[in-house]
Structure 1
Amino acid sequence: MYKIDTINTLLAASTRILTPLIRLLLRYGITYAAFSEMSKKIFFEVAKNDFTLAGKKQTRSRISTITGLSRKEVTRIESLPQKNSTLNTTGINRAARVISGWVKDEEFQTPEGEPANLVFEGETRSFTSLVKRYSGDITSRTIADELSRVDAISTTGNGLIKLNTHAYIASSNEQEKLTILGTDVCDLIKTIEHNIHNPEQPHLQRKVAYSHIPHEQLAQLKTELTQIAQSSLEAMDKKLSQYKTVNKNTDKSAEYCRVGVGIYYFEGEQK
């Protein structure tokens, strides 16, 4: 059993996590009843999948015991139709990979090492060949439309495709930003969970923050920090790409992992 101080600390941390999330839910008209029902389903699924006893099949009684849900409630949730709650990040990931390839692949760079302006069609050194290499079976027109939508590319006077940014940045599309909320916050919490239970092999988790920053200097500071962060991300992207296996079918016995590093900026009132 965990000490009461540990439980209270976790509950306090959960309160801080849930406060901005619930503020966001209320802004979108999501009520406590809807949140409560969703929470019950998640408690059920996590208990069912992650808290089984070795060599034993998970039972309704055990799920009820560790979640606090009644057996009747467990049975009701178990009988509900399964819904696919997986966040659709395909478009985001494919577009980001195309930009990353454009930035780091020498075939699509100028002699100075900058992303080159590309013709749209062509077997080599074209936008179509770039998309084919880094986006798989998604058509070049689809990727072009997505990158145009977020102002990541534009067309020059002579019809070439120009890269306007070295990173895929979510547009004002709310659904896209909410999708990123689900993936990025989940990744951070998983990292912290790993570090709590695996202190001998922790994942990278760092943060730097200062108080007493004058408001009139925030704009300049934010610009400078963004430039530093962007350079760091591009360096890490290049390093990650060196380890990525292009064709997963080359070794069917190999195991693969999803690996990444995230950076975010925050600001708030002085406390």
Structure 2
Amino acid sequence: MHSPTPPTSLLQALRRVMRPLVRLMVRKGVTYTYFSDMLKGVFVEVAEQEFRLDANAPSDSRISLLTGVHRKDVKRLRSQSPDVGDDLPAAVSLGAHLVSTWQTTPPFCTRPGDPAPLARLASTGGERSFDALVARVSKDIRARVVLDEWLRLGIARVDEHDHVHLETAAFVPQKGFDEKAAYFGHNVHDHACAAVHNLTTEGAPYFERSVHYDALSAASIARLRDAVSSEGMQALLAFNTLAADLEAQDARSADARQRVTIGLYFYSEATAATVPSEDAAPKIPA
């Protein structure tokens, strides 16, 4: 069931994975004591939900055996409700849906991936207005409320002709820590799930590839960053259009529903000084 001694390679990988998370926690005042108690709850939750021998819930003793969490703590933690849910907050989910509709659905876009400036009010813009966009996605919230929040977050701007412009190609607020934290949890969770699946589960792996180099100049990094921002976003917009079309088709069927996340990321940091080699070989995507 479990190896009594975890592989050294796994422990080294987990230590590296944890470093940026610990960096974030220290910066935001999350102490080791608080995090360790929260982590106990995660161990208990995962063992209870995903490591059952049959249809019955495992006993406190079995969860304690699997996780190393003391049985008294297991009992206490199982009696508590989880502090957070797995879904994106409603405001973030609505924002993402609105941006996707603006990017892909006429008359709100001139072509897929090219959102049109929208008249702020339906009284002046009709179906090609911000009022109409919000009404297309939700009947329960006023467009003015959404627009005020988007102006605060830097997602949209209003020009001198009272037209609303989308300022970002995806719902990633430049301001608003809670909104960015929600996406942090969603994206890192799903990327980690794909990687863990590929490491532990037999069957078809999820697509998870990257390219990495370690002897680039700052100018080259800037060029790569611009290329990823431009070309990578075009790829994501294409996937977004396809997913939106497929979701519209699937709405007519009774099949079980599944969610999907498709991501792309870019990261760079300083490395130890190296001497360029004339025979340096290109890196193979990993």
TM-score, normalised to structure 1's length? 0.88
* SS of match in other structure, 1:48: helix
1:44 aligns with 2:44: yes
Return the letter of the residue paired with 2:165: K
**1:106 to 1:183, Cα distance in 2 relative to 1, 3 A:** same
Partner of 2:265: 264
Q: Is 1:119 aligned with 2:119?
A: yes
The answer on whether the counterparts of 1:106 and 1:113 sit within 8 Å (CA) in structure 2 is no
Structure 1 residue 136 displacement after superposition: 5.4
3-state SS of the aligned residue for 2:157? strand
- Contact residue 95 and residue 146 of structure 1 kept, 8 A: no
Match of 2:209 among 206, 209, 220: 206
Query: 2-side partners of 1:2 and 1:84: how far apart?
Result: 28
Does residue 161 (structure 1) correspond to residue 164 (structure 2)? The answer is yes
Number of equivalenced pairs? 268
Aligned in 2, Cα 1:264/1:145: closer, same or farther, shift over 3 Å?
same
For residue 143 of structure 1, the aligned residue among 143, 146, 153 is 146
Indicate how the Cα distance of structure 1 residues 118 and 167 shifts in structure 2: closer, same or farther if over 3 A, else same: same
Pair 1:177–1:117, CA change in 2 (3 A): closer
Map Cα deviations across residues 94-123 of structure 1 (whole Å, 9 max, x no partner). Answer: 212212211211212348984222222325
Q: Deviations over 1:62-109 (max 9, x none)?
A: 111111122222223234x32431265322222122122112112123
| Contact 2:117–2:164, Cα closer than 8 Å, also in 1 | yes
Q: State the percentage of identical aligned residues.
A: 29
Q: Secondary structure at the match of 1:161?
A: strand
SS at match of 2:181: helix
Shift in Å at residue 141 of structure 1? 1.7
Could you say which residue in structure 1 is the equivalent of 2:255? 254
- Looking at structure 1, the residues matched to 227 and 183 of structure 2 have their Cα atoms a distance apart, in angstroms, of 24
Give 3-state SS (helix, strand or coil) of 1:107's partner: coil
> Would you say the 8 A contact 2:117–2:165 is kept in 1?
yes
Amino acid at match of 1:77: L
Give, as a single letter, the amino acid of the residue that structure 2 aligns with 1:56.
Answer: N
Partner of residue 175, structure 1: 178
Deviation at 1:257, TM superposition (A): 0.7
Is the CA contact (8 Å cut-off) linking 1:102 and 1:109 kept in structure 2?
Answer: yes
Match in the other structure for 2:83: 84
- 1:224 partner letter: A
Relative distance call for 1:242 and 1:113 in structure 2 (3 A) is closer
Distance of 2:246 and 2:101 partners within structure 1 = 14
- Give the unaligned 5+ runs of structure 2: 273-286
Q: Deviations over 1:182-211 (max 9, x none)?
A: 111110111112223444311111111212
Distance in 1, Cα, partners of 2:268 & 2:44: 36
- Structure 1 segments of 4 or more deviating over 4 A? 1-6
Cα distance change on mapping 1:90 and 1:220 into 2, 3 Å: same
Residues 29/59 of structure 1: CA separation in 2 closer, same or farther (3 Å cut): same
Greater length-normalized contact order (CA 8 Å, ≥ 6 residues apart): 2
2: CA distance, partners of 1:134 / 1:112 = 17
Pairwise CA distance, 1:6: 5.8
Residue 39 (structure 2) pairs with residue 11 (structure 1): no
What corresponds to 2:191 in structure 1?
A: 188
TM-score with structure 2 setting the length: 0.83
Conservation of the 8 A alpha-carbon contact between 2:120 and 2:163: yes
The more displaced of 43-52 and 129-138 is: 129-138
The residue identity in structure 2 corresponding to 1:9 is S
The DSSP-based 3-state class of the residue aligned with 2:174 is coil
Counting helix residues as a fraction of each chain, which structure ranks higher? 1
How far off is 1:232 after superposition?
0.9
* 2:137 partner SS: helix
Unaligned runs of 5+ in 1: none
Q: Determine if the alignment matches structure 1 residue 218 to structure 2 residue 221.
A: yes
- The CA RMSD measured in Å over matched residues stands at 2.5
